[in-house]
Amino acid sequence: MHKSKKESTHLPLFIFGGVVLYFLSGMVDELRVYQGASIAVFVIAISSIILLTGYSGQVSLGHGALMAVGAYAAAVLRIEFNAPIILCFVAAVLAAAVGGALLGAAAARLSGPYLAGTTLALAVGLPSLANQFAVLGGEQGLGFDVGFPPLSLGEDFTQYKWFFWIAGLAALISIWSVRNILNSAYGRSWRAGRGHEVAAQLAGINTARSKVLAFTISAGIAGLAGALLAMTIGTVSPSAFPLALSFSLLTGAVLSGITTLGGVIIGAVVLVAIPEIADVVAHRLGSSESVTTNLPGLIVSGLLILTVLFVPNGPVEQHRARKAKHEAVHSSSKK
């Protein structure tokens, strides 16, 4: 049985997802709604890493900085020009994409650890630049206010629910777009170039240009995530984009399965849920102050190591591989 060459866009699936989220937001309490918004932000950010690292094979330890670029662009546009929110988000994507293009062009010749080092230095250095320019608000940051939900939604419609809707919608659109990009010719050229650069070049693919394109798109998506992050906390400041954020994105991508988009929500949920669960566990165990304070960090880091060791390609890929093996065994026995 042949699968059709052109994969469907699965649009109805995403609309179904949207409907599910709509009902969810009405049923859960405010804390969960806020966490839902955070999960949506992480979903978008992690998908940008999957595109860049999983598909295009380029390691970035600096996507936190690209998120910052998007966030600041959105905030400045809002404050200086009182632009409508949609425009602010578009500006975030464009600004970060420009940053990504520049970074990608500079990094096109770099491989592995050299690229990692460059992006690491960017993650450390870029947010602190905000202190140099008064328009960027310095350490205390800029406010980013997306405004209140429209009155037509009713009096009880909380601010957090509004965030969840915006972020959730952005996540759905973003994942749908990324998925289609990954299934397109661009996605195929990235996968071809990943690890087999000479072969790809022989096949006629301009690997340098393809790598820069990957960086640009990945950065734009990260910029959107950054602007949405700023929305959820209402401010943009350098301390909101520490080095640890870039590490968290990579963590989430690995937990999701870095080569496939299917599990992206897993990584996002883990990143948001684990600290809370770890907190509860730590307090349940009681003991000394220094243990309870450090246990959550220990649990998250330990989980990371275990995942990389035992589920390196992510749960979704693992599941598929097992299924494929299962089917192969069955179909051969049928003969």
Partner 1 sequence: MQLLNTLLIGITAGSIYALMAIAFVLVWRSTRVVNFAQAGMALLSTYFGYEAVSRIGSFWVALPVAMIGGALFAALVELVLMRLLVKHASSGPIAGVAPIIATLGLLGVIRSVVSMIWGGQDLRIVAPISNNGFTINGSTLVFSPLKLLILVVVAVLLIMLTILFQKTNLGLALRASAHAPEIARLSGVRVDAVRTLGWALAGAAGAVAGLFQTVNGNGNISPDSIEFSLLLVSGFIAAVIGGLDSLLGAVLGGLFLGLTISFVLMYVGGGFFFITPFVILLLVLFIRPQGIIGVKAGRRA
Partner 2 sequence: MKAMNRRKLITASAVLAVVGLAATALPAQAAEVGVSSTEIKLGMTLPMTGTASLGYNKIPGAAKAYFDYLNANGGINGRKVTLVVKDDRYVPTEAVSKTNELILKDKVMALMAPLGTANVKAVASSVNPARRGVPVLFVNTGFSGFADTKKYPTTYTVLPSYVMEAKIMGQYIKENFVGKKIGLLYQDDDFGTDALAGFKTAGVDFAVKVAYASGSQGAAAAAGWITKFKAAEADVVILFGVSSATSAMLGTAAQLKYAPQWMLGSVGGDATTIKLTGVPAGVLYNAIGFSPVPATTDMKDEYVKLFSDIYAKAVPGSAFDLNVLLGMNTAFMTAQALKAAGQNPTRKSLMAAIDSKGATFANSALVPAGYSATSHVGLTGYWVGKYAPTGDLAPIGGTYVTYTTDSGSGPVVKSTYKRPAMPAKGLPN
| 113: partner contacted, choices partner 2, partner 1, none (Cβ within 5-8 A by kind) | partner 1
Total of chain residues touching partner 2, rule CB under 8 A: 52
Backbone φ, ψ for residue 154 (5° rounding): 105, 160
SS3 (DSSP) at 171: helix
Q: Which is nearer to partner 2, 185 or 244 (CB)?
A: 244
263 binds partner 2 (CB under 8 A): yes
- For 237, residues 6+ apart whose C-beta sits below 8 A from its C-beta are 130, 137, 139, 140, 141, 142
Stretch 275-314: interaction string toward partner 2, x if CB under 8 A: -x--x---------x---xx-xx-----------------
Applying CB under 8 A, the span of 17-25, 53-61, 197-205, 304-312 interacting with partner 2 comes to: 17-25
Q: How wide is the angle at C-alpha 86 spanned by C-alphas 83 and 92, nearest 5°?
A: 85
* Joined tokens for residue 123: 């993650």
Q: Is 18 in the site for partner 2 (CB under 8 A)?
A: no
Helix H or strand E encompassing 143: strand 142-143
Tokens of 283: 């307090």
**Is 168:18 a contact under the CB 8 Å cutoff?**
yes
Closest of 127, 135, 116 to residue 69, by C-alpha: 127
Residue from 48, 119, 174, 237 that binds partner 2 (CB under 8 A)? 237
Chain contacts with partner 1 (rule: CB under 8 A): 53-54, 57, 59, 61, 106, 109-114, 116-118, 120-122, 124-126, 128-129, 131-132, 194-195, 198, 243, 247, 250-251, 254, 258-259, 289-291, 293-295, 297-298, 300-305, 308-310, 312-313
Minimum Å distance from CB 109 to partner 2? 30
- C-beta closer to partner 2: residue 191 or 320: 320
DSSP state of 148: P
Longest dimension (CA), the chain: 73
* HEC per residue, 62-77: CHHHHHHHHHHHHHHH
Q: Which residues bind partner 2 (CB under 8 A)?
A: 7-8, 10, 13, 16-17, 20, 24, 27-32, 34-36, 38, 128, 131, 138-141, 143-145, 159, 229, 232-235, 237, 239-240, 242, 244, 262-263, 265, 269, 276, 279, 289, 293-294, 296-297, 316, 319-320
